[in-house]
Amino acid sequence: MSWLEPHILSNLVTLGLLAGLVFAARVVRAQRLWREAAVELWRRRRFAILVVGVYLLIGLADSVSWTGGVPDDAVGVLPNAPLSVLDRAFLDSREASYSAPFAAVEFYGGDALRHPGGHPLGTDILGRDVFYLSLKGARVALLIGGLTSLIAIPLALLFGVCAGYFGGRFDDFVFFLISTMASMPSLLLLIALIMVMGRSTFSVCIALAVTGWVGFCRLTRAETLKLRELDYIQAARALGVSEAKIIFRHILPNLAHLIVITFVLMFSGLVLSEAVLSWLGIGVDGSWGQMIDGARDELSRQPVVWWNIAAAGSALFGLILAVNSVGDAVRDVLDPRTARES
């Protein structure tokens, strides 16, 4: 048994992300500008931030996993599979088939359930607890939004800043590349990329990143073009500060607010795109989009099986609404052009 198994890798990545969050929090605390923005954000959108926090915690609970400790009589669990905190909380929740929320008997047939009244959102066609599946979707959604942004934003920064700062041939090339990518219909390009790369979580994220980086790259390029003409950067150059140092000390910090705004505003679009991809059959396993897709025929049953789609739909809606509402506030607070307007 090698020690770099997928679940250990996932634990390490989770740890790394937590460390990144702590680091970001320290930076925000240390600098007055960011601290004031954070306080203002908290004042405006307390509730939405808390909701996002709850989703984060659920995603976290599903990201830390280890093997062993499974009782022998648990139904539907492989003895050596790694299980997350969330999996362990719902370890023995499997039923035989559909059951309605809080029902004591199966939906079809009326056999007694193993846990009468124990499924607040019912169970799906395979008897899995819908509440549990909806909670598990949080990790997938955060993964899609987070991983894609982690690929797209650095890529866009690299190309945008270099093109804007150095200009010349490289700028022409980047500008041409951006125009070309932007003229391809994004949903079609997305689908084409996934068709070509095969269907996996990673290729969905890559495809979303490839279609998503263009807009931000254009933005950073334009912003860098403006920044490099400013007096203090001219002064730094005249003093002989190296190009790399100018970019890291003077340009990137001035793009930081754009990075935060783009990340938050991009996030909800990515999660919604994944739902569409799931419906087209090329989404990520375990996402809310797949739950919605799987529940499509259930609404035409008699009597209607509604809890599956309702649970996945509300979970998706809750996250997107909270992120959108935080995103609006982030833009208002951080963007000097819209600040103090509404």
Partner 1 sequence: MGAYVLRRLGYGVGVVLGVLFLLFLLFFTITAPEDIARKALGDKAPPEAIQTWLENHEYDRPLWPWQDWDENLLFDHYRKMLTFDFGVSDADDSPIIDRIKAGMGPSLSLTVPLLVLGLFVSIPLSLLVAFFRETYIDRMGVFLCVLAMSVSTLLYIIGAQFLIGKVLRWYPISGFDASLAMLPRFLALPVLVGLISGVGGDVRFYRTVFLEESSRDFVRTARAKGAGEARIMIFHVLRNAMIPILTRVVLAIPFLFMGALLLEAFFGIPGLGSMTVDAIQSNDFSTMRTMVYIGSLLFVFGQVATDISYGLVDPRVSVE
The CB-of-342 to partner 1 minimum distance in angstroms stands at 7
Closest CA to 308 of 289, 281, 280: 289
- Where residue 340 falls (left for φ over 0; alpha for ψ -120 to 50; beta otherwise) is left
Q: Are 225 and 134 in contact (CB under 8 A)?
A: no
If one asks whether residue 300 binds partner 1 (CB under 8 A), the answer comes out as yes
Cβ neighbors of 109 (< 8 A, separation 6 or more) are: 97
Q: Which residue reads 């700062």 in tokens?
A: 165
**Least Cβ distance, residue 157 to partner 1 (angstroms):** 22
Among residues 195, 222, 235, 339, the one that binds partner 1 under rule CB under 8 A:
195
The dihedral formed by the CA atoms of 327, 283, 301 and 107, expressed in degrees to the nearest 10: -90
Question: Which amino acid, 25?
Answer: A
- Candidate list 70, 181, 225, 241; residue touching partner 1; CB under 8 A: 181
Decide: is 308 part of the binding site for partner 1 (CB under 8 A). Answer: no
Q: Is 313 a binder of partner 1 (CB under 8 A)?
A: yes
Q: Which is nearer to partner 1, 65 or 290 (CB)?
A: 290
- List the one residue from 12, 188, 235, 339 that touches partner 1 (CB under 8 A): 188
Binding test (CB under 8 A) with partner 1, winner from 16, 79, 185, 253:
185
Contact string (CB under 8 A) for partner 1, positions 276-295, x = contact: x--xxxx------x--xx--
Binder among 21, 57, 222, 299 for partner 1 (CB under 8 A): 299
Q: At what angle do helices 252-279 and 307-334 cross, to 10 degrees?
A: 160
Q: In one letter, which amino acid is 320? A: I
8 Å CB contact between 49 and 42: yes
d(Cα 161, Cα 27) in Å, to the nearest integer? 22
189 in contact with partner 1 (CB under 8 A): yes
| Contacts with partner 1, residue ranges (CB under 8 A) | 176-177, 179-181, 183-185, 187-189, 191-193, 195-197, 268, 272, 275-276, 279-282, 289, 292-293, 296, 299-300, 309, 313, 316-317, 320-321, 324-325, 328, 342
